[in-house]
Amino acid sequence: MNQKTFSAKPADVERKWHIIDAKGQIVGKVAVEAARLLRGKHKPTFTPHIDTGDFVVIINADQAVFSGRKEEHKIYARHSGYVGGQTIETPKKVRERRPEYILEWAVKGMVPKNKLGAAQMKKLNVYAGTEHPHEAQKPEPYAL
């Protein structure tokens, strides 16, 4: 019996569109499922070094919630590269400024930190409200 290991080819990958409603959902759980769909780990043809994932649209990102007291105690830190250029924000401040960032950063931490991960992140679309411009792609609702 001679079995060969299957390896997906980039041209053979079929991509679907999924829509996730984050209203009242925990940020981490939404991010886990979005990262799983983006990477393609839900498919039997998953290949670690090929982008086999689907497109993901997340709506109502402004209504996603944190578990526990993370809304006040979690911090987002970044640095501009200049002296004294460190910025520290809580999720409450980030939500006022740009609520999509919370879910984008959560998903970004769950994909590979290389060119493959960058390509997978391009297939993620996060919107604060219920409106999105991807109706023509007919995204299928994804239940958490």
Q: Please state the three-class secondary structure of 15-79 as a single string.
A: CCEEEEECCCCEHHHHHHHHHHHHHCCCCCCCCCCCCCCCEEEEECHHHCECCCCHHHHCCEEEE
- pLDDT tens across 53-93, in order? 999 999 999 999 999 999 999 999 999 999 999 999 999 99
Q: Where are the domains of the chain?
A: 16-67+98-130
pLDDT value of residue 11: 93
pLDDT value of residue 39: 97
The CATH number of domain 16-67+98-130 is 3.90.1180.10: yes
- Dig out the tokens for 17 from the structure: 């569109």
pLDDT value of residue 2: 78
What gap in Å lies between CA 18 and CA 13, rounded to an integer? 16
pLDDT value of residue 32: 98
Report the chain's C-alpha Rg in angstroms. 17
Residue type, 43: K
**Can you list the residues of the chain whose pLDDT is less than 50?**
none
pLDDT value of residue 135: 96
pLDDT value of residue 6: 87
